[in-house]
Structures are given as C-alpha cells and as structure tokens.
Amino acid sequence: MEVVNSKGAVLSNCEVYSLLQDLCQQGAKGRRNLAKTQTHLANIAYDTLKYLEKTPCRNQNPEIIQRFLQSVKDFKLTKAEKLQLINLRPTTPVEMQLIIEESEDRLTEEQVEELISLVELHLPENSTGPTQMVNGALGQ
C-alpha cells in the first residue's frame, strides 16, 4: 500500500495495519541498511502493529470495508462516524450512541439495532491466534 497524499483523507485502522505490515516487511529485508531514524520508525511501526493486531482491523480487508460502507449508505452517517464504526466495531446501543453524534435525534431504536446487525454481519470479530507480522517481522 502506498500513501499518495498524506493529507488527502483519514485512514481506517485496517489501512494503517496494512501499510505498516508492508513497511515492516521492507524493513526486515534491508535491516542492515536502515539509518538510525529509520530504525526508530521501524520500532514505532512494530509497536503499532502489535496494538492493531489486537483490534478488529486484523480481520478486515478493503472488500469487507467496502461491503460494510455500501450496507450503511442509507443511514446518512458522517465519514468520521463510518470510520469509527469500522475501527471500533460497536455491538451495543450505548456504543453506537457514543459514536454517532445526536443519535437519539437522527436514528430510531430500530435503526440502531439494524446498524448493530450490519456491523456484526459485515465486520468480522477480532480473533486470537498466530499472526504474520509480529512473529519475527523485525527480528524482535
């Protein structure tokens, strides 16, 4: 994955996760040639990957996200709200209320329940198990 315009848009956790995986794979291949600042960047990337692997983004991909976004298009959510739904994968009305601004005015209880169902249907839960990147990507 390549960042074309760093100020063009916000990224989901899934996109950051994918970008950092690519960065760590490149860094692991040429570790001897890394400058000091690149080593620090690699350490930051590694720590971020360790964190993100504990979140639902680990099981997401662009197709899953696109299907989810298509399924919620009629709810008139802001881009930030959609991003938070993808990143946080809320499964209770209270979590929805915290993510969606003025949700009591904008959504009925039935719509909130429908959104929860769509989250559960389209966005996979975080599963535990061995990972690709943390287990040795940077030799740590």
Architecture of domain 61-122: Up-down Bundle (1.20)
CA 35 – CA 130 distance, rounded (Å): 30
Q: What rounded mean pLDDT belongs to the chain?
A: 80
| Predicted pLDDT of residue 129 | 44
**Crossing angle of the two packed helices 13-29 and 79-88, in degrees rounded to 10:** 60
pLDDT score of 70: 96
The structure's pTM equals: 0.68
| CA 57 to centroid of chain Cα atoms | 4
pLDDT of residue 32 exceeding 80: no
Provide the pLDDT for residue 84: 93
**Least confident span in 10-14, 47-51, 95-99, 113-117:** 10-14
Q: CATH 1.20.1250.40 in the chain: give the residue spans.
A: 61-122
Q: Which two tokens stand for residue 51?
A: 């964190």
What's the mean pLDDT in 3-10?
66
pLDDT at residue 4 is higher than 70: no
DSSP state at residue 51:
H
CB count within 10 Å of CB 133 equals 22
Residues sharing a CB contact under 8 Å with residue 40, sequence separation 6 or more, in sequence order: none
Give per-residue pLDDT as tens, 40-90: 777 888 888 899 888 888 889 999 999 999 999 999 999 999 999 999 999
Q: How confident is the model at residue 134 (pLDDT cuts 50, 70, 90)?
A: very low
pLDDT at residue 1 is higher than 60: no
Of 59 and 1, the structure prediction assigns the larger pLDDT to 59
